[in-house]
Structure formats: structure tokens, C-alpha cells
Amino acid sequence: MKKIIRKKLLKIEEKYNVKILYAVESGSRAWGFPSKDSDYDVRFIYIHPPKWYLSIDPQGIGAKRDVIEEPINDLLDISGWEITKALRLFRKNNPPLLEWLRSDIVYYQKYAFVDNLRSLESTVFYPNSMIHHYLHMAQNNYREYLQGSEVRIKKYFYVLRPILACKWIEKYNRTPPISFHELLADIIPEGELKNAVEHLLKRKLIGDELDIEPRIDVINDFVENEMERLEEYVRLLRVEVKDPTKILDDLFRNTLQEVWK
């Protein structure tokens, strides 16, 4: 599958006259709990030639789109962000982008851009925005899937993972790992809750159908208590971050020069 994805990325470069800087797997495969029928969620960052940037219309306006989205099929979901869009989101501490930088499944990486970007993470780290993002993700999925006596049981992972990410940020004051297994091992102590989550994870990974089943009270109780506690925690959290715009402007210009000589 990796060869198919790399071939698709090369076709995207030709079709749109861009250079791809970095492409990774995101979503359940990168998180460590894919289903047997999970598709491949490929995300990438790309850069246009210098001429594209030297115009009176800014990126993202009209025909100058700052995303590339290929048609989705049952096997492959592939899309990318233009470099300045990615850098603006990096400045805002965008969690999905920071997860891309941590993916263990890398399909393509070229030039110094991603290594330089990773070196700047501590400059832009802002726990408030990250916790808000993950907490809202957990709350939305909980409201939609995990209330009632019977629930969509596989959706527990889409609530547990963001909650564990929040607790990691609270504990270490840094970006959480992308792996659910690493979060689970570090954040949840041995006991009934961890046993319940590990049992559910084993079922999912071996391909059990996890659809509508009775709710798992020990997980629901943990989720409800943590969402309430984290909402209060982030409300009181006060952190200041210096504006990194100049540094990111320099990174963009240096990358433009490196890629297009």
C-alpha cells in the first residue's frame, strides 16, 4: 500500500505543479487502533513555485486554494495543506498538524522543512488551545455516541484518546504522543478501568464487530468525571506565548529557496 500511496503523491505533484514536503498517515491507523476495514488517511504539506506566491491575491482566496483534496474512496482518503496554511496553523498550535509531525507512518519526507518545524514546537506550544481542541472532541463524540444504556462501543476510543491527550498535556506540559497505546500505558494506572480499555482494544484490533452494546460503566464514569474536571482546569489555565511569526516567515522563505533553488 505504501507504494500505491507514494505513486499517488507523485501524481499530485505533477497535476498541481507543487512539491510535497511531508506525507504521513493520520487517524486510527496512526493512533494504533484501526479496524479491519479502516481506510488510509494520508495527509501532506506542499509548496508552490515562487511565482504562485508573488501575486496580488493571497493564498486561500478564489482560485488560489490552500488545500488539495483528492476524491475519497473506500481505501484512500488523501488531502494536503499548502505550506503557509500549515505554518499559520502551527502558529496557533493546531493539534492535528502536530499529530502529523508525530506519526510513525511516514510515506514521504524531503528537504529540511519538517525537521526545522519540529525544532520550533517548544516555541509555539500553548496548552490552552490543545486542551480545548481535545476536550471538545471528546465532548462531541460522547454526546453523539456514548449516552444511554446501549452505545456505539467502538466510539469509546474516540473519546478516550482525546481525554488521555488532555491528561498528558496537564501532566507533562508538552504535546502528547500520537499512539493510543503510549497514552494508555502512561496515563491510566493498573486496575479495573485499564483492564476494561485493554480488553476493548484487543477486541477491536482482532477485528471483532464493535457496534451497539451495553455501555461499560467503568469507562463512562471515568470519561464523565474527567470531562468535567478538565473543563474547569483549562478555564483557570493561564499561559503566555511569544509571537513566532517572524521565525515562521523565515522558515517559509528558506524552504521556498531550498525547494525551488
Between CA 23 and CA 31, with CA 27 as vertex, the angle to 5 degrees is 105
- Grid cell in block for residue 92: 496557533
| Domain region containing 72 | 2-124+241-260
Set of cell numbers at residue 12: 499530485
What is residue 64's predicted lDDT score, i.e. its pLDDT? 86
Q: What is the pLDDT of residues 101-115, one digit of tens each?
A: 999 999 999 999 999
What number is the average pLDDT over the span 226-244?
Answer: 92
Distances (CA, A) of 255 to 45, 74, 202: 12, 34, 43
- Same domain? For 67 and 140 the reply is no
87 & 132 share domain: no
Conformational region of residue 107, where left means phi above 0, alpha means psi within -120 to 50, and beta covers everything else: alpha
Q: Give every CB contact of residue 221 below 8 A, 6+ residues apart in sequence.
A: none
Number of structural domains in the chain: 2
pLDDT at 141 over 90: yes
**8 and 118 inside one domain:** yes
Check pLDDT > 90 for residue 248: yes
Give the residue-averaged pLDDT of 233-243. Answer: 89
DSSP string covering 107-172? EEE-SSHHHHHHHTHHHH--HHHHHHHHHHHHHHHHHHHS-SSEEEGGGGHHHHHHHHHHHHHHHH
Same domain, yes or no: 67 and 78:
yes
At 248, is the secondary structure helix, strand, or coil? helix
Residues 119 and 211 in one domain: no
Residues 101 and 171 both lie in one domain = no
Let me know whether 134 and 206 are in one domain: yes
Based on the domain organization, do 31 and 99 belong to the same domain?
yes
Q: Do residue 116 and residue 206 come from a single domain?
A: no
Are residues 52 and 136 both part of a single domain? no
Task: Give tens-digit pLDDT for 56-98.
Answer: 888 777 778 999 999 988 889 999 999 999 999 999 999 999 9
Spatial distance between the Cα atoms of 82 and 90, rounded to a whole number of angstroms: 12
Are both 33 and 114 inside the same structural domain?
yes
Instruction: Identify whether residues 254 and 225 lie together within a single domain.
Output: no
Give kind and range of the element (H or E) at residue 44.
Answer: strand 40-47
Whether the CB-CB separation of 50 and 14 falls below 8 Å is answered with: no
Sequence-separated contacts (24+) of 133-141 with Cβ below 8 Å: 133/94, 133/95, 133/162, 134/95, 134/162, 134/163, 134/165, 134/166, 134/169, 135/162, 135/163, 135/166, 135/227, 135/230, 135/231, 135/234, 137/162, 138/162, 138/163, 138/166, 138/223, 138/227, 139/227
Based on its alpha-carbon atoms, the radius of gyration of the chain, rounded to whole angstroms, reads: 20
Q: Please report the pLDDT score of residue 210 as a whole number.
A: 78
* Average pLDDT score over the chain: 94
Entry pTM:
0.92
